[in-house]
Amino acid sequence: MSSGKIHRYESAHAVVTWDASRCIHAAECVRGLPEAFDPAAKPWIRPEAADAASLADVVNRCPSGALRMQHPDGTSAMTAPPLNTGLVTKDGPNYLRGNLTLVHHESSVEDTRVALCRCGQSQNKPYCDLSHRKAGFQDAGALPAEVPAPPGTDLSAPLTIK
């Protein structure tokens, strides 16, 4: 489901990848660790500028899943939250976090974070690409009162989104 715009940044203690096609420029990385994520610098990601734990913490905050990190031994630094969650944003995407599998057409992607289009205008469906801004999409993002999950629902179980 990626368009192949994945960039790789390596240091002795981390490999950070950035999928430009999924980035919605929320800037969690820039705010969280500006010494390692500086959009004005070339390269803009410098994993050698921070320790592995700090990098992993900030990469895991990326709401779109555009950033990923592995340790040098190949193990993932990505952590899924204990429960699957969803957030409908005002005038923007749906953010999902958890143990996720996104199925779209003939492919599937396992991830811990995704930002999904709600406006229908994205050129990178099902992912948000910020087209909602140009389209003037407006929606309060308000849901009816919280409805409890049906009895026996395991909110920590893997979630497949089709």
**Segment 9-49, tens digit of pLDDT:** 999 999 999 999 999 999 999 999 999 999 999 999 999 99
pLDDT > 60? residue 124:
yes
What is the residue whose two structure tokens read 């811990």?
Answer: 112
pLDDT digits over 63-112, tens only?
999 999 999 999 999 998 999 999 999 999 999 999 999 998 888 989 99
pLDDT > 90? residue 3:
no
Between CA 79 and CA 70 the distance in angstroms is 11
- pTM for the model: 0.88
pLDDT at 99: 93
Q: pLDDT band at residue 144, thresholds of 50, 70 and 90?
A: confident
pLDDT at 1: 54
Which position has the higher pLDDT, 35 or 141? 35
CB atoms within 10 A of CB 36: 25
pLDDT at 105: 85
**Contact status, residue 133 vs residue 74, Cβ threshold 8 Å:** no
